[in-house]
Amino acid sequence: MFVDTLAFQEVTLLFAAVLIGYVGVLTAFAMRRNDAAGLKNLLKAGAVPIGSVGAVATLLGIWGEYYWPLPGSYNILFGDVYLLFGATLVILAVSMATAQKLQFAGLFALVAGGVTIAYGWSGYQLGMTKDPLETFLLYGAFGLTGILAFPATVMVDHYQAHPESSVYSVAASVARRRPSLSGATRAVQPVVPTATSTPTDVPATTGFRVPVYINATLIAFLVVVALAGVAALLYLNTTLPAHLASAP
């Protein structure tokens, strides 16, 4: 008995966009707070739901490649990129859970993202779906997410390896004690600090300055993830009614 899982696959796309976007926002805040330990715990915790979605997507992708009886090459159009999507999430989740460098998962995502865009463009040119433009936008948004994942993961890896490299002082300059002089004729008298003198031993506070290029890359990645989530939601809203009305 064949069960059409297309709508459920679109739901997993939406889940992945929300999860990755949420983990990405928390990662950016942890870096700004210079909270290396908190970031490590965050990545381990986020690996569980991301890995779960990835495992489901991988299994459905393998099944779709072999058993989806759609006419023509639709199983290739949908199955190939969906299998890459699931594998990317699994690799990312394992890297997060085991505290490995994320950039290798990001490199896998970069290649998978380029392939996804190519599939989406080919499907658009061939008019393979009832909504070719919407399909291309969906593939393009997730493909661009994969491409931007590589520089984003490289920068997170760099921070985790050197969390102290951008520490800077945010304390205001401390005023020095200045003698209170009544006049030039008394300049030789001992100077007594006044009650309003500012002490010199005020500890400076520290923070973490994230370079502009890192901020820009992370923000661009999060924006594209948000767009991918919106694209998945709109695509689901387009296909779900027909899917439920004429289920096989």
Classify residue 200 by burial, with Cβ atoms within 10 Å: 0-12, 13-18, 19+: exposed
Q: At what angle do helices 36-67 and 74-97 cross, to 10 degrees?
A: 150
pLDDT band (50, 70, 90) for residue 139: very high
Cα gap 23→42, rounded to integer Å: 8
Q: What's the token pair of residue 24?
A: 């990405």
Kindly tell me if the per-residue pLDDT of 101 is higher than 70.
Answer: yes
Percent helix, strand and coil across the chain, each rounded to 5? 70, 0, 25
Q: Find the length of the chain.
A: 248
Residue 212: per-residue pLDDT = 78
The residue ranking higher by pLDDT, 53 or 135, is 53
pLDDT tens sequence across 66-80: 877 666 667 788 889
> What domains can you pick out in the chain, each with its CATH number?
10-163+211-240 (1.25.40.600)
Percent share of the chain, pLDDT over 70: 75
The pLDDT of 105-124, averaged and rounded, is 94
Cα gap 116→93, rounded to integer Å: 20
pLDDT band (50, 70, 90) for residue 180: very low
The pLDDT of 213-242, averaged and rounded, is 85
Residue 178: per-residue pLDDT = 45
Q: What is the pTM of this model?
A: 0.77
Q: Which phi-psi region, left, alpha or beta, contains residue 162 (left: φ > 0; alpha: ψ -120 to 50)?
A: beta
Kindly tell me if the per-residue pLDDT of 194 is higher than 80.
Answer: no
The pLDDT of 46-56, averaged and rounded, is 96
Averaged pLDDT of the chain: 80
Residues 115, 81: contact at Cβ < 8 Å?
A: yes
Residue type, 68: W
Residue 190: per-residue pLDDT = 52
Of 3-12, 90-99, 159-168, 197-206, the range with the highest mean pLDDT is: 90-99
Cα gap 93→102, rounded to integer Å: 9
User: What DSSP element (H or E) covers 168?
Assistant: strand 167-169
Beta bridge partners, 70, equal none
Classify residue 110 by burial, with Cβ atoms within 10 Å: 0-12, 13-18, 19+: buried
